[in-house]
Amino acid sequence: MPEELMVDYYEVLQISPNAEPDTVHRVYRLLAQRFHPDNQSTGDSERFRLLTEAYQVLGDPEQRAQYDVHRPEMQKERSRLITHAVRAVNDVQSEQLLRLTILELLYARRRTDPQTPGIFYGDLESLVGCPQEHIEFALWYLAQRKYVDRSDGSKIAITVDGVDHLEKNAPVRQAVPRLTAASSRKF
C-alpha cells in the first residue's frame, strides 16, 4: 500500500469543484495570507506549500481540466486506501476511524456546499468505501450523539456538535497514512 494518498485540491482550498476562477484566486489569497510562514500567529509552512500547489493546479484552466478528469479516479483510490488502512487496525480503533472519516466527509461537504450540506446515504457508502451494513453502527452512534442529522430523511449532514467533536478529535486520524499531494503532481 502506498504511504501517501492523494489530496483533493478542492478540499485544500475549501472550495466547491464548481467554483469560478476568480473564487479560486480569492480563496487562495485569503488562505495564503493566513498560512504564510511569515505570519507569526497562524503561519504553517506545510499547509502553505499545499495551498500553493493546489492553486497552481486549480488556478490554471488547462491543469484544472486535466485534474478534474482524473479526480474521480483519485477519490476512488483514496477511499480504497483509507478503507484498507481502517481495516488494518483493531475493531475499536477501526470503528473510531470510520466515524471520524464519515464526519470528515460531512464536514467537507458542509464547508464546501453550505446550501446543500447533506450527503445521500448511498453516496456516503461509496465515499467511505464500505457497504451499508458496515457503516450502520457508526451512523447510529453519530446520530445518537447528535453529531449527524438526517435532513428530510434522505441526506445525512454534520451538526454543530459533530463539527466540534471532529475538530477536537481529528488527531486520532494519525493511524491512517497522511494525505499528501505527492502522488497527484503528475498534473
| pLDDT computed for residue 4 by the predictor | 41
| pLDDT computed for residue 80 by the predictor | 73
| pLDDT computed for residue 145 by the predictor | 93
Angle, helices 121-128/132-144, rounded to nearest 10 degrees: 110
Q: What CATH number is associated with residue 165?
A: 1.10.287.110
Q: Which domain holds residue 140?
A: 9-184
| pLDDT computed for residue 144 by the predictor | 93
| pLDDT computed for residue 89 by the predictor | 52
pTM of the model: 0.46
| Torsion angle in degrees (nearest 10) through CA of 141, 146, 151, 156 | -40
4 within some domain: no
Please give the Cα distance from 50 to 7 (Å, whole number): 9
Per-residue pLDDT in tens (0 to 9) along the chain, 187 residues: 343 446 789 888 888 888 899 999 999 999 999 989 998 888 888 889 999 999 999 999 999 999 999 888 888 877 777 666 655 555 777 788 888 888 988 998 888 888 888 888 778 887 887 777 778 888 899 999 999 998 666 788 999 999 998 888 775 444 444 444 444 444 4
2 within some domain: no
Number of domain units in the chain: 1
Please give the Cα distance from 58 to 65 (Å, whole number): 8
3 within some domain: no
96 within some domain: yes
1 within some domain: no
70 within some domain: yes
| pLDDT computed for residue 84 by the predictor | 65
